[in-house]
């Protein structure tokens, strides 16, 4: 065997290995991007539901304020003989209901997570996986 040809073969093997490593790295990067996209879609869906709840609270608050002040305030005002006080009491009660609905919707909004936690976890574990440490806790088998 010619010594000069052995050097060429090992160079080709290194080139093939580097090419394979580059290909695998690109594939891993694409998988990470796909994971981030999936997590963001999930978070956006949660935000949409929270916004719908907030809008429901706003619609109910505005509608309730108007209708309640017009209808019930007149009825209570006639019953107690003081329409101004009745209007104030009904308005306050309606605003309390709206505040409760807003608080519930705000709580739902706080429960949404925009941070791609699974992706961050995977990226943090990638160097360990490259070394062959495939367990989640970082301990080797």
How confident is the prediction along the chain (141 residues), in pLDDT tens digits per residue?
A: 455 555 556 667 888 888 888 888 888 878 888 888 888 888 888 888 889 899 999 888 788 768 767 888 899 999 999 988 988 888 898 889 889 999 998 888 887 766 667 777 777 776 666 666 666 554 443
Strands in the chain per DSSP E: none
**Half-sphere exposure of residue 47: CA atoms within 13 angstroms, side-chain side:** 9
pLDDT score of 103:
92
What span, in angstroms and rounded, lies between the C-alpha atoms of 41 and 112? 12
Q: In 126-140, which positions are buried (b, 16+ CB within 10 angstroms) versus exposed (e)? A: eebeeeeeeeeeeee
pLDDT score of 78:
93
Place of tokens 């790295």: 25
CA dihedral sign, ordered 95, 97, 98, 100: positive
The domain spans of the chain are: 3-114
């Amino acid at each position: 065997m010619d010594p000069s040809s052995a050097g060429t073969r090992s160079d080709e093997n290194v080139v093939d290995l580097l090419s394979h490593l580059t290909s695998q790295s690109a594939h891993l990067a694409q998988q990470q991007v796909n994971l981030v996209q999936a997590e963001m879609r999930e978070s956006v869906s949660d935000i949409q539901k929270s916004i719908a709840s907030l809008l429901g609270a706003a619609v109910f608050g505005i509608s309730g304020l108007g209708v309640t002040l017009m209808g019930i305030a007149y009825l209570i005002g006639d019953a107690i003989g003081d329409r101004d006080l009745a209007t104030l009491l009904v308005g306050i009660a309606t605003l309390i209901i709206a505040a409760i609905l807003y608080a519930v919707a705000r709580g739902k909004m706080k429960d949404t997570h925009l941070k791609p936690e699974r992706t961050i976890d995977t990226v943090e574990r990638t160097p360990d996986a490259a070394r062959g440490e495939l367990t989640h806790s970082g301990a080797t088998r």
